[in-house]
């Protein structure tokens, strides 16, 4: 495997994207992975770039790679083939980290990585239906083996429910207009393609607003993707689940790509990093001391060089913490 500019060339010649904030993620997680027998969980394996870097940096590391996308697991299996004896790849949603570890007979781990959002293959493979830039079936499922598609959502949900999804998950200020337009257009014929949905959204948004702020369908597609894959609900369950299996001295790193993900991550980490001794007590209670120590000052962002090389990295926010004790 050789590096070629900003791409990694796979054994079959296919180019894969270099993962976001790779060096910083390895730097943050490495202190907990140096001991013999260390186990790391890459809970959103994707193309396996972060996993490959961690396995390369730590020769004794065992890595558990989880992904709900079977295509991603196939990519990861190919990329990580030199480390087969140290890798377990599992098809699961990442909020099932405890279940995955139980099935593998692992009680606790030394590191967990959550690289959230949609992966490059999902965006780049037009037939997956994640992108408004290519005409494709309106799918957006990360796991195509189960669940409803984006077409199911736009063709069956009420205007009120669509409005809530677009407002809450896409932060779309024209959510009611777009929802009404979707319901009106699907009355003529079902909405089944990404390009048709993008055009419906574009025409529903006032012309003056369409002139700035990027593609007018961007927020709608984000909202539908989050709804189809229950992304925020999964993350809300996954953070405490992952932290519950983190050993003393173990570390967690989370890469978020929009404010909704980052807000949930910040809240979950802050809750365990806070002393909960009642304010009216004169001394700190030992069993109320913080469980984790924050390793990042707020959320870290990629540098200008990385965002120039990879525009998709521009929105990423990285937070990390280390378990210090159990309450």
Closest by CA to 49, choosing from 23, 70, 30, is: 23
115 is in an annotated binding site: yes
- 268: alpha, beta or left? (left if phi > 0; alpha if psi -120 to 50): alpha
Q: Is 257 annotated as a binding residue?
A: no
Per DSSP, 18 falls in state P
Hey, what are 137's tokens?
């079936």
Strands (E), 12-121: 15-17, 39-42, 62-67, 87-91, 109-115
Rg over alpha carbons for the chain, rounded to the nearest Å, is: 21
Q: What strands, in cross-sheet order, belong to the sheet with 2-4?
A: 2-4, 7-9, 15-17
Identify the CA nearest to 199 among candidates 157, 148, 138.
Answer: 138
According to the annotation, is 67 in a ligand binding site?
Answer: yes
Q: Which residues pair with 64 in a beta bridge?
A: 41, 88
Is 169 labeled as ligand-binding? no
Reduced to 3 states (helix: H, G, I; strand: E, B; else coil), residue 134 is coil
91 is in an annotated binding site: no
What is the Cα–Cα distance from 269 to 275, expressed in whole angstroms?
12
Binding-site positions for S-adenosyl-L-methionine read 48-50, 67, 94, 115, 122
Binding-site positions read 48-50, 67, 94, 115, 122
């Amino acid at each position: 495997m050789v590096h070629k500019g900003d791409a990694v060339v796979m054994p079959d010649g296919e180019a894969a994207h270099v993962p976001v904030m790779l060096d910083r993620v390895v730097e943050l997680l490495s202190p907990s992975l140096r001991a013999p027998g260390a186990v790391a969980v890459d809970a959103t394996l994707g193309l396996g770039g972060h996993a490959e870097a961690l396995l390369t940096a730590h020769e004794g590391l065992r890595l558990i790679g989880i992904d709900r996308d079977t295509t991603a697991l196939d990519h990861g299996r190919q990329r990580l083939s030199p480390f087969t004896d140290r890798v377990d790849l599992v098809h699961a949603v990442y909020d099932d980290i405890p279940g995955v570890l139980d099935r593998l007979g692992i009680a606790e781990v030394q590191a967990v990585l959550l690289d959230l959002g949609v992966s490059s293959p999902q965006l780049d493979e037009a037939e997956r239906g994640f992108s408004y830039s290519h005409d494709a079936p309106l799918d957006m499922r990360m796991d195509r083996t189960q669940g409803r598609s984006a077409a199911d959502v736009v063709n069956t949900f009420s205007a009120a429910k669509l409005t809530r999804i677009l407002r809450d998950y896409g932060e779309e200020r024209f959510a009611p207009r777009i929802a009404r337009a979707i319901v009106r257009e699907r009355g003529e014929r079902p909405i089944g393609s990404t390009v048709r949905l993008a055009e419906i959204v574009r025409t529903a948004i006032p012309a003056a607003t369409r002139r700035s702020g990027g593609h007018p369908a961007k927020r709608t597609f984000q909202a539908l993707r989050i709804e189809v894959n229950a992304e925020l609900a999964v993350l809300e369950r996954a953070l405490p689940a992952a932290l519950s299996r983190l050993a003393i001295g173990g570390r967690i790193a989370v890469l978020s790509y929009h404010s909704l993900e980052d807000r949930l991550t910040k809240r979950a980490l802050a809750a365990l990093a806070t002393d909960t001794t009642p304010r009216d007590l004169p001394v700190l209670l030992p069993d109320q001391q913080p469980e984790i120590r924050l390793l990042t000052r707020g959320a870290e962002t990629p540098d200008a060089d990385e965002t120039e090389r990879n525009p998709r990295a521009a929105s990423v926010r990285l937070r990390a913490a280390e378990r210090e004790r159990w309450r």
